[in-house]
Amino acid sequence: MHTAFHSTIARLGALIATTVLAATTALAAFPDRPIHLIVPFSPGGGTDSIARSVGVGMSQALGQSVIIDNKPGAGTIIGDDYVAKSQPDGYTLVVATFAHAVNPSLMPRLPFDTDKAFAPVILLARGPNLLVVRADSPYKSVKDVLAADRAKPGELTFASQGNGTSAHLAGEMFDNLAKVKMAHIPYKGAGPAMTDLLGGRVDMMFATAAAARPFVTSGKLRVLAVTSPQRSAAMKDVPTVAETVPGYSVESWYGLFAAAGTPAGVIEKLNAAAKKGTERPEFRKQMELEGLTVSAGSPAELDTFVRAEEVRWGKVVKENKLKID
C-alpha cells in the first residue's frame, strides 16, 4: 500500500514535471510559425495601415512573419468573432478599435462576451478623428454643415467604416449635441467609405486621422475640425468640433487582443514585440503625422482603458437611444 502510494506520487510528480516542461518548451519555442493579425476592416483604411506598420516591427522582434488578414463586416464583429473562437495560443490576434468597446452596448446579441472572450495584449495608439469633406465641397466650417442641415434636415450624408465604429458614433454624437439629423451610410471599412466620399456619393466623414491623412495631404479632402476636446498638436490650425458644438469629444484607438486563455508568457512576448514595433522611427513618424499618441504600455493598461470606454459609450448609446441602421 505504502509502495503503491509512493509510486502514484512519483507518477504524479513525473506527470507534473512533463507538463511544466512541455509548457516551458512551447513557450520557449513561441513563435515557431507565422502570426496572423486580423484587421476587421477592408484593406486601405487606418486600422489596416497601422496593422501593417506595427507588423513589420513585430516580425523583426519575433523572427517570424506577421501576416495581415482582412476580415471585414458587421461593424468589426466578423473579425472579432474569428479571434474569439481561435486557439488561445497567441498565433491569432485582432487589431481592435473603438468599435470593440461600443459594440457590447450597441449590438444586443454579440456572438461572444467582449469582457470574457479576449486577452489584452497592448494599447498601440490613440487620437482624434477628423471631420472631412471633399476639397470642392461648399462646406468650409462646422457652422456651414449645421446651417445646411438645418435648411434641409436629413439630406446631408456622412460615411463611416461600419456600424459602431468611431466615425459612426462621432456622427451620431454630432447630431445629438447639435440637434441636427444627418443620414449615416455605413461601409465595410474606411477604404470603400473614402472612395465614395471622394467620388461625391456622400457629403462628409468623421474619419480616423489614419484613414483621412493621405487624402488631406494630397489636397483631395479638406479638414473642417478635429473630434478631440483640444486641438491636435499635428494640426494646430484646425479647430475642434467642440468650439462650435460644446461638450463634443470622440477619440479613436488601436489595440491588440488575443483569444482568452492565451498563456501569460505568450502575451508577454507579444506585448514586448508590439512595443518594439511602436519604437520603429517609421511607425512613430506615421503616428505623429496622423496626430496619434503612441501608448505601448502593459496588457492591464489596455484592459482598464477599454473597460472605461465601454462604460462611457454605453451611457451615450443608452441616453441617445442609438440603434444600428
Among the CATH numbers 3.40.190.150, 3.30.470.10, 3.60.21.10, 3.30.70.20, which is that of 27-126+253-319? 3.40.190.150
Which CATH number is associated with domain 128-243? 3.40.190.10
More confident residue, 65 or 287: 65
DSSP per-residue string spanning 24-58: HHHHHH--SS-EEEEESS-TTSHHHHHHHHHHHHH
Full-model pTM: 0.82
Residue in this structure with the C-alpha cell 451610410, named with its chain if needed:
185
pLDDT score for 122: 98
pLDDT for 31 equals 96
Equal fold, 27-126+253-319 vs 128-243 = yes
Length of the chain: 325
Q: Where in the chain are the domains? A: 27-126+253-319, 128-243
Q: Give the Cβ contact number of residue 204 at 10 Å.
A: 23
Task: Name the band, by pLDDT with cuts 50, 70 and 90, for residue 15.
Answer: confident
Q: Would the pLDDT of 180 be above 70?
A: yes
What gap in Å lies between CA 141 and CA 178, rounded to an integer?
14
User: Which residue(s) pair with 118 in the sheet?
Assistant: 259
Amino acid (one-letter) located at 195? T
Q: What are phi and psi of 210, to 5 degrees?
A: -60, -40
Q: Is 60 exceeded by the pLDDT of residue 25?
A: no
Is the pLDDT assigned to residue 316 strictly greater than 60? yes
Average pLDDT over residues 7-20: 71
Average pLDDT, the chain: 91
Q: Write the pLDDT tens digit of every residue in 232-252.
A: 888 889 999 999 999 999 988
The larger pLDDT score, comparing residue 137 to residue 25, is at 137
Distance CA(160)–CA(99), nearest Å, equals 12
The predicted structure's pLDDT at residue 75:
85
**In the prediction, which pLDDT does 21 show?**
55
Beta strands in the chain (DSSP E): 35-39, 66-70, 92-97, 118-134, 157-160, 183-186, 204-208, 221-226, 251-259, 293-294
